[in-house]
Amino acid sequence: AQSVTQPDIHITVSEGASLELRCNYSYGATPYLFWYVQSPGQGLQLLLKYFSGDTLVQGIKGFEAEFKRSQSSFNLRKPSVHWSDAAEYFCAVGAAGSSNTGKLIFGQGTTLQVKP
Amino acid sequence: DAGVTQSPTHLIKTRGQQVTLRCSPISGHKSVSWYQQVLGQGPQFIFQYYEKEERGRGNFPDRFSARQFPNYSSELNVNALLLGDSALYLCASSFTGARAHEQFFGPGTRLTVL
């Protein structure tokens, strides 16, 4: 069965410091991978996605993520965090090849707190 | 362009009641998916609809049902509400086919069951 694990429930970083949020997935074939961000009381905003090709993908707001098949990981990174990045971050996997079913499986989320 | 819209924003119901949530997809998107997000957890897939047919269903009881209209908008219905149905209900829209997984979410409807 497909699953997504985000090992860190809560992370605190100082403003201007670098950030890495971890995501591990379980899926037999090549997955579609996503990172979403959710501000309090809001819906989900897509940060970036990986479907195929270059394993380092760039997203919005200065975020990037790297797909590592050997480690079943898709970690999210940002070189310098801003106070406005404080939010909940979700990693998700979609089943590539399943005919037209857009089911996404989400991890439990990582709450990012940014210290001034 | 307008994003995914959902109504109502908030809803309070009592146990045993029924609720209907509404969603309008992004223009050009023909697929709508529904997710339930319980506080402190990631969203859980409930349904996907396109061409007015159910294309996928998550592990939810039959109390949960949905439909899609010719204009691609969708309604989620939950009958016989339980306290555990309290959650943020998210609607997402997408293109179909290979891009079905690239989903864009609405702001959600916060349902509280008392």
Q: pLDDT tens across B44-65, in order? A: 999 899 888 888 888 999 999 9
- A60 CA: distance to closest CA in chain B (Å): 14
Q: What are phi and psi of B97, to 5 degrees?
A: 70, -140
What's the average model confidence in pLDDT over B94-111? 89
Residue A20, pLDDT > 80, answer yes
Flag if B103 and A103 touch (Cβ within 8 Å).
Answer: no
* Residue written as token pair 């899609």: B68
Check residue A98 and give its pLDDT. 55
- Contact list in B for residue A90 (CB cut-off 8 A) is 42-43
**Least CB–CB distance from A108: residue in B41, B97, B100:** B41
Q: Give the Cα separation of A68 and A75 in Å (integer).
A: 9
pLDDT confidence tier of residue A100, bands split at 50, 70 and 90? very low
Residue A96 has pLDDT above 60, yes or no: no
Give the burial class of A102: count Cβ atoms within 10 A of its Cβ; 0-12 exposed, 13-18 middle, 19 or more buried: buried
Name the token pair of B33: 């998916």
Contact: B105, A43; criterion CB under 8 Å: yes
Mean pLDDT of chain A: 91
Interface of A with B in 6-65 (CB under 8 A): 32, 34, 36, 41-46, 49
Q: For chain A, what is the radius of gyration of the CA atoms?
A: 14
Mean pLDDT over the full length of chain B: 93
Nearest to A104 among B4, B103, B106 (CB): B103
- Angle (CA) B102-B36-B80 rounded to 5° is 140
- What is the per-residue pLDDT for A94? 87
